[in-house]
Amino acid sequence: MKKGLTIAGSDCSGGAGIQADLKTFQERDIYGMSVLTCLVAMTPEDWRHIVRPVELEMIRHQFRTAYPGVNGIDAVKTGMLPTVEIIETVGELLAEVRPAHLVIDPVMVCKGTKEPLFPENTQAMIRSLLPLAEVVTPNTFEALQLSGLPDFQGEDDLLEAARRICALGPKYTVIKAARIFDGRSVDLLYDGREPFWIREEKITTAWTHGAGCSFSACLTAELAKDAPVREAFLTAHAFVHQGLLHSFPLNDHVGPIYHKAYAKYGA
C-alpha cells in the first residue's frame, strides 16, 4: 500500500486539517500518517479559533517517526504551519529527506476568519518551503500573498500570480478561485509553461469547511500512487466537487464537505 504523510494542524471539529487529510488519504486508498504542528479549538458561541503551536522538538520527534522510522513514504503534504520557526523547522526536515512528491498547501487563514493567522509567515514559506515543492496549492487569498499582486480582476491576473509563484521554486502551481467570479469557479494548474483551466458553475453552499485541505490531500494521495500531476489535479477537483455537492452543517457556524461522496456518487 502507498503511504502519505501530512504535516499540519489539528481541527477538533473533524472537517479540516489533519483530520480532513487522513479521511481523504483513507478514501483514496493510501496509508496516512501525520505530524501535528498545532492544536486548534473553536469557541462554541462564535466559532472563534484558538491556536496553540506544538513545540519544535515534538515536531521533530514526530517527523523522525516517519523518516526514517517508516519504510517507503511515497508523498508528503503540509498544511497549517503556525509560526516562522515551525515553517523553518519543517523546511529543514523536508530538505534532509527530499520526498519523492511534496505538496505545499500554504494555509494562511482559518475558514470563517478574514485576517491572516500569522502574516509574517509568507516570507518564511517562500524561503523554506516553495523551493522544495512539486506542487503548491494556494487559494486566491494565499496566491495574492505569495505573488505580491494587489488583487484579482480576472483570469489574466490568476495566470500572472501562478507565473510569479512558480518562479519562487515549485514545479507546479494550482490556484483555486472559488470566490472571485460571479456564478462560476475556476481552478488553474500551471506548470511554468502552459496553463490548464477547469471552469464550471459555482456550487451554492455555505458548507465548505475543509475543501482546501481535502483538495491538497487528494492531490497528494494521487501523486503517491504515481499519477501524473494533471491527472492528480483532475481527481482532486472531482473529489472536492462531489464533497461540496453533498456537504452538510455541523452547527450554525460550520459545515464540512462529505469525504465519502466521490466514492458513493462518482466524478
Helix and strand numbers (H, E) in the chain are 9, 10
Give ∠ CA 229-161-228 in degrees, rounded to 5. 5
pTM, full prediction: 0.95
- Residues near 128 by Cβ (< 8 Å), separated by ≥ 6? 87, 88, 90, 91, 92
Q: What is the pLDDT of residues 124-165, one digit of tens each?
A: 999 999 999 999 999 999 999 999 999 999 999 999 999 999
Q: Per-domain residue ranges for the chain?
A: 3-261
Phi-psi region of 255 (alpha: psi -120 to 50; beta: other; left: phi over 0): beta
CATH code assigned to 3-261? 3.40.1190.20
Q: What is the pLDDT of residues 188-202, one digit of tens each?
A: 999 999 999 999 999
Return the pLDDT at 112: 46
pLDDT grade, residue 96 (50/70/90)? very high
